[in-house]
Chains A and B, each alone.
Chain A
Amino acid sequence: MSVAPTLVFAVGNPSRGDDAVGPLLAERLEAAAVPGVEVLVDFQLQVEHALDLAGRERVIFVDACVDAEALFVEREVYADAGFAHTSHFLAPAQVLETYRRVTGSEPPPALLFGVRAHSFELGAGLSRDTERASQAAWPRLLELCRG
C-alpha cells in the first residue's frame, strides 16, 4: 500500500495548556488537505511510530517547544544512536534511530517544527504567547508542506 510522501506528525495533549499547539496545527493542516501530506497526531512519540515512517520521503514533527529561541523553530533531526535514557515517550531523533534499528534502513529526512510553549497545566488552554506563536507558525508550516 502506498503512503503519502510527506508525513506530518503532530505531538501533544489537547488538554494540557501549550502542549495542545501541535494537535491544533495538525487540525488546520488536515482541513487544508495538502496533496501528498498525511497528518498523524498522538499524545507523545513512541517506538511503534517508527513504523509510520516507512515509505516516506520526509517527515515533519510538530511539537510544543520550551527551549525555542523564537516564536517557532525549525531544526533538522537525525537518528541518534547515543541517547542514554528514555521515558514512556521518545524524542524525534530516537524515533528515527528506532526506525533504523527495526528496519535496517536509513530513516527519511526529518525536521522538527517547534512552537514556543510555556505552561502545561491540565485543563488549561494555550497561553497568550503560544497562541501568538501558533499564528505566526502556521503560514510557514503550510509552506513547508507544500514545498
Chain B
Amino acid sequence: MNTLPLETAAHPGQLRRVVIEPLSRVEGHGKVTLLLDEDGHVQQARLHIVEFRAFEKFIQGRPYWEVPVMVQRLCGICPVSHHLAACKALDQVVGATTLTPTAEKIRRLMHYGQILQSHALHFFHLSSPDLLFGFGSDVARRNIVGVAAAYPDVARQGVLLRRYGQEVIRHTAGKRIHGTGSVPGGVNKSLTAAERDELQKDIYQMVAWSRDAVRLVRQLFEQDLETYRSFGTFEARTLSLVRADGAMDLYHGGLRARGADGGTIFDHVDYGHYWEQISEEVKAWSYMKFPYLRALGHENGWYRVGPLTRVTRCDFIPTPLADRERREFMAFDDGRAALSTLGFHWARMIEMLHAAEAIKDLLHDGDLLGTDLMTGGKRQARGVGVIEAPRGTLIHHYRVDEDDQVVRANLIVSTTHNNHAMNMAIREVARKYLDGRTLTEGLLNHIEVAVRAFDPCLSCATHAVGRMPLSVQLLDADGSVAGSMVRG
C-alpha cells in the first residue's frame, strides 16, 4: 500500500498518541490522531472517519421515485444537494434529457439557495470565530456568541443570509425539509408571483452583505498575510464541473481536472462515465474511501474539490460582481492566496456572492412562473447525476430494474473527494505548528482550523441531546489514558 510522509509512522507502538475526537464544528464522526515521539515530534497524522456510511444499502431496493426525497435524510447539512443530484441521475432514467426552462430554473434557484445558506453558515457561524479572534485565542471567546458580542453586524448578517437561503429552498422545494419540489423529469411546482415578490424584496440586501463578506475575508488575509498564505497549504490537483464555455456552473457541466500547476489533465468530460476517470482506494485506517484520478494512479492521482477549486479553476464566473472578486482573489499576493488552504474561505464567500447574484437574476426571469414543468422520454436503466454541492463535487449513480426498483447505487460525496487533501492539510499544520511543542488547546485547534477550511460534512444527521462533545485524549504507547479534556 502506498503511504505519504506523516501518513504512517515507522514504529507506531513506541509513540505517544493524541486523539481529537470528534472534531468540533465539523459534522459527524471524525477524529484526528497524532503520533508523537519522546521529543514531541510528529511522526504520523491522520484524519479518520469512524462512522461507516451505508448510503448505498439505504437506497437499494427502493422505488426510484422515492429516492429524491429519501436521500435528503442522508445528510442534515446539505439535503438539497442530494435531492438535486438524485433527480439529475433519475432524469436520465425517465429519459428526460433536457428539462423544460421552468424546471431547470426552479432547480437552479433551489440550488443557489442551498449554496447561499450553507456558505453563510460555514463562514459566519463555524469559521469566523477562528478567523476574527485567532486560531489559538481564548477558547471561551472563540465561538459565535463571541463574534456576536464583538461583531454584532457580522453575526446578524450571517443569520439573515442563512434564513434567506432557507426561504428560497422552502419556496422551491415546497417545504423547509423533506422537500418534494424536484422530481425525475422536472419539478412539481413553479413559483407563484407572490413567492417571487417576497424573495425579490430582500435579494439586493443579500447581494450587498455577500459582497461585504468577501471584503471581510480579504481584510483578514491582508492583516496576517504570512499565516494565511502558508497555513496548511500544499499543492493539489483539482476536480470540478465547468460549463461548456469554461464558466463556473454549480448545477451542471463537464468534468475538469487540472494539475497542481494548472495544466489540463482532462476537460469537459461527460460525467455519465465518471468511473472511467475516477476510482477509489480503500485504506485500512479509515471508513472513508480515497478517490483518485485513474490517469495518474492512486499514489499521485488524489485531488481537491470545493469552492477553492471551483473559483480558481473556472475560466470566469458568469455574474459580474463575483467575477470581479474572483479576479482580485487570483491576483492577490501574486496568486498565492488562490493556492492556500485558507483561500477556501475567500473562495467560499465569492461563491456566496455568485449565488446571491444568480438568485437575483433568476427572480427577474419570467420562466420561474411557468407551468410547463415536466418532460420525459425513452426509459433508461442507468442514470448518473453530478452537481457542485456547497462542499464540492457530488456524484449519484443509480441502476434501476424493470420493476422500478433501484438495484445498484453509488454515491461519491464531496467530503470523500477531499479525504486525501484534508489529510495533507493536517499533516502540513502538524509539521509546522505542533512538531516538538507542548500541546495546548489552542495548538490542537490549529488542526481543526485546517480541517474546517474544507467544511467537511462527515454525514451524521443525528444530533440528539447529550451527544457530540469534543474530547481530546492523550494516550501512552500502551493505550492507557495519560490525560484528557472534554468540551462541548
Interface residues of A (CB under 8 A from B): 11-19, 40-48, 50-51, 63-67, 81-89, 91, 94, 97-98, 101-102, 112, 114, 117, 120, 122-123
- Say yes or no: A117-B144 contact (C-beta < 8 A), given A47-B162, A51-B163, A123-B57: no
The 10 nearest A-B residue pairs measured at CB: A43-B76, A67-B466, A101-B148, A15-B73, A85-B24, A64-B464, A48-B163, A120-B462, A13-B461, A66-B466
- The yes or no answer to B25 lying at the interface (CB within 8 A) is yes
List residues of chain A with CB within 8 A of the CB of B178: 14
Q: Look across to chain B and name the residue whose beta carbon is closest to the beta carbon of A123.
A: B58
Question: Which chain A positions have C-beta within 8 A of B283?
Answer: none
Closest to A64 in B: B464
Q: Contact partner of A44 among B125, B463, B487, CB < 8 A?
A: B463
Interface of A, secondary structure class, is loop
Alpha-carbon gap, A81 to B143, bound state (A): 10
* Complex Cα–Cα for A91 and B25 (A): 13
Contact B464 A120 (CB under 8 A): yes
CB neighbors of A among B144-194 (8 A): 144-145, 148-149, 152, 155-156, 158-159, 162-163, 166, 176-178
A63-B464, A66-B466, A102-B156 are contacts. A86–B125 as well, Cβ < 8 Å? yes
Q: Would you give the shortest CB distance from B144 to chain A, in whole angstroms?
A: 6
A42 touches B177 (CB 8 A): yes
The size of the chain B interface, using a CB distance under 8 A, is: 52
Give Cα A84 to B467, complex, Å: 15
A142: min CB distance to chain B, Å:
21
User: Is A50 a contact of B159 with CB atoms below 8 Å?
Assistant: yes
Q: How far is the CB of B37 from chain A (nearest CB, A)?
A: 29
Name, among B139, B156, B159, B467, the residue most crowded by chain A CB atoms within 10 Å (CB to CB): B159
Contact B176–A40 (Cβ < 8 Å): yes
Alpha-carbon separation in the docked complex, A75 to B240 (Å): 47
Supposing A86-B125, A98-B159 touch, asked if A15 and B70 sit within 8 A by C-beta, the answer is: yes
Asked if B1 lies at the interface with its beta carbon under 8 angstroms from chain A, I say: no
**Given A88-B27, A101-B155: A123 in contact with B143 (beta carbons within 8 A):** no
**How far apart are the CA atoms of A66 and B467 in the complex, in Å?**
7
**A64→B465 contact, CB < 8 A:** yes
Closest to B118 in A: A88
B177 touches A83 (CB 8 A): no
In the complex, what's the smallest C-beta–C-beta distance from A4 to chain B, in angstroms?
16
Nearest residue, chain A, Cβ from B167? A48
A65 with B143: CB separation less than 8 A: no
Contacts of A14 in B (CB 8 A): 73, 178
A84 to B486, CA, bound (A): 11
A-side contacts of B177, CB under 8 Å: 41-43
Residue B207 CB within 8 A of the other chain: no
Q: Residue B488 at the A interface, CB < 8 A? A: yes
Interface status of B457 (Cβ within 8 A of chain A)? yes
Minimal Cβ-Cβ distance residue in B for A61: B465
Give the residues in chain B near A123, CB-CB below 8 Å.
54, 57-58
Within the complex, what minimum Cβ distance (angstroms) separates B441 from chain A? Answer: 10
Shortest CB distance A121–B (Å): 8
Closest to B51 in A: A122
What residues on A are CB-neighbors of B159 within 8 Å?
47-48, 50-51, 98, 102
Across the interface, name the chain A residue whose C-beta is closest to B25: A87
Cross-chain contact A66 with B465 (CB below 8 angstroms): yes
Return the chain A residue nearest B73 by Cβ.
A15
Q: Decide: A47 and B125 in contact? CB cutoff 8 A.
A: yes
CA–CA, A14 and B143, complex, Å: 30
Report B-chain residues with C-beta under 8 Å of the C-beta of A120: 460, 462, 464
User: 9 interchain pairs (CB within 8 A)?
Assistant: A13-B73, A40-B176, A66-B464, A85-B24, A87-B27, A87-B126, A101-B152, A122-B53, A123-B58
